[in-house]
Amino acid sequence: MSDLTTRKAAPILDIANVSKVFDRNGSSILALKDVNLQIQKGEFVCLIGASGCGKSTLLRIMGGFESASSGVARMYFAPIEEPSPERGMVFQDYGLFPWLTVRQNIAFGPKQRGLSEIQIREVSDHYLNMVGLDKFADYFPGQLSGGMKQRVSIARVLANDCEVLLMDEPFGALDALTREALQQELLDIWEKTALTVVFVTHAVEEAVFLADRVVVMTAGPGRVELDYKVPLDRPRCITEPEFNRVRQHLTEMLSSHVAHRKTA
Amino acid sequence: MLLDFAFGGIYDDAFSESLGIHWIRSVSRVYAAFAMAAIVGIPLGLLIGKEPFIRRLVDPTLQMLRPVPVTAWLPLSMIFFGVGPKAAVFLVFLGAFFPIVINTTFGVKSVEGRLFEAAAMLGCKGASMFRQVVLPAAMPSIFNGLRLGHGIAWFLIVVGEMTGVPEGLGAAIMDGRMLSRTDVVISGMIVIGFTGFMTDRFLVLLNNRILKWNPQHNV
């Protein structure tokens, strides 16, 4: 984290010495230990690591769904205490409201903010169009494919003017083709907006394709092992040799840390 | 026979043309009691499901009362309400009440935690959460409870009307039995079956309309 001193702007998200202890069946598990992480406005950051490394827990702390046992998570210097519209979460299992249509799901946030019917209509039209679901506006989530559902859940947090997009393995349950399409769409949306994205994944290729920075986490207890700036220009192409080199480099680091932990 | 029971003109005895009045009496009792059971049962179920304190307070009592066959309440309800239609209505109310309250409670308790998180993250809070998340999510279970309760309501009206009620389908069946008028007994059974079926269809229609979103719940 040597380049930390060179940054001037305040981080949008600041994770300072965060630890998290879970009490399960009487025994306590240290899920995160002294995690420090700063995320700048507009950055695309991927959290990567094996299962159980606490990457989802860290994301949930950023979202306000969990509280840190010690240390503090801040957004613009204000401690994060509860879920809030400015930090939109996209869950792997979508979390859509099955009784609302696609349009109503997208309109859910704007409705909470008390916008007028006309404004809500405009906002939902705009985001339906952005994720290409105009024709499916009156469908229920149960009638959609996984990829479409995930588009809806992205659209509904965007419709609520979120500044930070927190994504918890959002494309993990999708087939390869849909995943690639959605990765590209996500990048397009990110480039069009001033969004900051924190994206949890366990796929190295996905992380290298998407992220400005890849944060590698290791388990037992979960901590940040490495903060790696992806040295590739955009748009990236996964078949380029340079891309492959970065991917291999990152894979090696990831597995060496895992191996190191096993022998230790 | 069913014809004479309904319109008269064949036997012209005490049963002739009396179906209408029996039917009206039974139907109004069933629906009044069923409506009361829904009006009390659904809010109570929502409360029990949502508030752990109320659950601890009320649930043990409910679970203890539940295995007692509602027909066993008949003597008591006669003491409470006197011999007559009120006792029958109470019986129907009690019978419909349990499935409604228990299914509603279940529906509220089984709302996915993820949906609360999603709603909170989108800016939904407090009472609004209840109306916009808990209620719609519990709706399939509430409908299950209503349909079950409705079936039991028809079952119990006959039992309730068999003692000390002059008019009603149950009373007609009982009178038919005592006078060896098996045709009246069977006619009464057919009418009950048909009426119950029609009401259930109506509930199903309502169910399919409100729960359009839920493919598993369209019957």
Q: For chain B, what are the domain ranges? A: 2-217
Nearest CA-CA partner of A127 in A77, A165, A170, A161: A161
Asked whether the beta carbons of residue A85 and residue B212 sit closer than 8 angstroms, the reply is no
Last residue of a domain, one of A129, A146, A162: A162
User: Would the CA dihedral through B148, B151, B154, B157 be positive or negative?
Assistant: negative
Q: Which contiguous run of DSSP H or E holds residue A17?
A: strand A13-24
Same domain, A250 and A193: yes
- Do the beta carbons of residue A55 and residue A200 sit within 8 Å? yes
Residues of B in contact with A64 (CB under 8 A): 121
Which fold, B2-217? MetI-like fold (1.10.3720)
Mean pLDDT of A86-96: 94
Radius of gyration of chain B (CA): 21
Radius of gyration of chain A (CA): 19
Amino acid at B61: T
The domain that holds A48 is classified in CATH as 3.40.50.300
Asked whether the beta carbons of residue B123 and residue A160 sit closer than 8 angstroms, the reply is yes
pLDDT (0 to 100) of residue A111? 93
Residue A5: pLDDT over 60 = no
Asked whether the beta carbons of residue A113 and residue B214 sit closer than 8 angstroms, the reply is no
Same domain, A107 and A11: no
Q: Check residues A121 and A254 and name the one with the higher pLDDT.
A: A121
Interface of A with B in 102-121 (CB under 8 A): 108-109, 112-113
Same domain, A214 and A150: no
- Counting Cβ atoms within 10 Å, is residue A97 exposed (0-12), middle (13-18) or buried (19+)? buried
Same domain, A120 and A146: yes
Number of domains in chain A: 2
3-state helix/strand/coil string of B126-153: HHHHHHHHHHHHHHHHHHHHHHHHHHHH
Instruction: Indicate the pLDDT class of residue A211, thresholds 50, 70 and 90.
Output: very high
pLDDT (0 to 100) of residue B218? 64
Nearest CA-CA partner of A44 in A187, A140, A242: A187
For A138, the closest chain B residue by CA position comes to B213
Nearest CA-CA partner of A227 in A88, A9, A16, A49: A49
Instruction: Indicate the pLDDT class of residue A9, thresholds 50, 70 and 90.
Output: low
Interface of B with A (CB under 8 A): 114-115, 117-124, 128, 132-133, 136-137, 139, 211-215
pLDDT (0 to 100) of residue A7? 47
Whether residue B166 has a cis bond before it, omega within 30° of 0: no
Same domain, A191 and A231: yes
What does the alpha-carbon distance between residue B213 and residue B219 come to, in Å, rounded to a whole number? Answer: 13
Tokens of B1: 């026979």
pLDDT (0 to 100) of residue B219? 62
SS3 A198: strand
Residue A2: pLDDT over 50 = no
- The CA distances from residue B150 to A57, B16, B34, B183, B218, in Å, are 46, 29, 7, 26, 18
Looking at this predicted complex, what is its ipTM? Answer: 0.87
Asked whether the beta carbons of residue A84 and residue B121 sit closer than 8 angstroms, the reply is yes
pLDDT (0 to 100) of residue B97? 95
- Do the beta carbons of residue A201 and residue A184 sit within 8 Å? no
Percent of chain A scored above 90 by pLDDT? Answer: 73
Residues of B in contact with A165 (CB under 8 A): none
Q: Can you give the pLDDT of all 219 residues of chain B as single tens digits?
A: 677 777 777 777 777 778 888 999 999 999 999 999 999 999 999 999 988 899 999 989 998 988 898 888 888 888 998 888 899 999 999 999 999 999 999 999 999 999 999 999 999 988 899 999 999 999 999 999 999 999 999 989 888 888 778 889 989 998 888 988 898 899 999 999 999 999 999 999 998 888 888 877 666
Last residue of a domain, one of A162, A190, A220: A162
Same domain, A42 and A58: yes
Residue A262: pLDDT over 60 = no
Whether A124 has its CB under 8 Å from any CB of chain B: the answer is: no
Domain extent for A129: 94-162
Nearest CA-CA partner of B188 in B161, B148, B164: B161
Query: In degrees rounded to 5, what are phi and psi of residue B208?
Result: -65, -25
Last residue of a domain, one of A105, A138, A162: A162
Instruction: Indicate the pLDDT class of residue A261, thresholds 50, 70 and 90.
Output: low
Amino acid at B60: P
pLDDT (0 to 100) of residue A82? 93
Same domain, A27 and A106: no
Q: Which residues contact A246 (CB under 8 A, 6 or more apart)?
A: A208, A230, A231, A232
Same domain, A101 and A48: no
Mean pLDDT of A18-28: 89
SS3 A134: helix
What does the alpha-carbon distance between residue A28 and residue B81 come to, in Å, rounded to a whole number? Answer: 58
Instruction: Give the model confidence (pLDDT) of B26-57 as tens digits.
Output: 999 999 999 999 999 999 999 999 888 999 99
Same domain, A170 and A81: yes
Same domain, A77 and A199: yes
pLDDT (0 to 100) of residue A263? 53
> Rounded to 5 degrees, what angle do the CA atoms A247, A60, A21 make?
100
| B27 CA to centre of own chain | 12
Instruction: Give the model confidence (pLDDT) of B177-201 as tens digits.
Output: 898 889 889 999 999 999 999 999 9
Q: Which residues contact A177 (CB under 8 A, 6 or more apart)?
A: none
Instruction: Indicate the pLDDT class of residue A258, thresholds 50, 70 and 90.
Output: low
Nearest CA-CA partner of A111 in B57, B132, B186, B34: B132
Neighbouring C-beta atoms of residue A61, cutoff 10 Å: 24
Instruction: Give the model confidence (pLDDT) of A37-70 as tens digits.
Output: 999 999 999 999 888 888 999 999 999 999 999 9
C-alpha distance from A185 to closest chain B C-alpha (Å): 22
pLDDT (0 to 100) of residue A1? 44
- Do the beta carbons of residue B120 and residue A112 sit within 8 Å? no
Tokens of B101: 């309250």
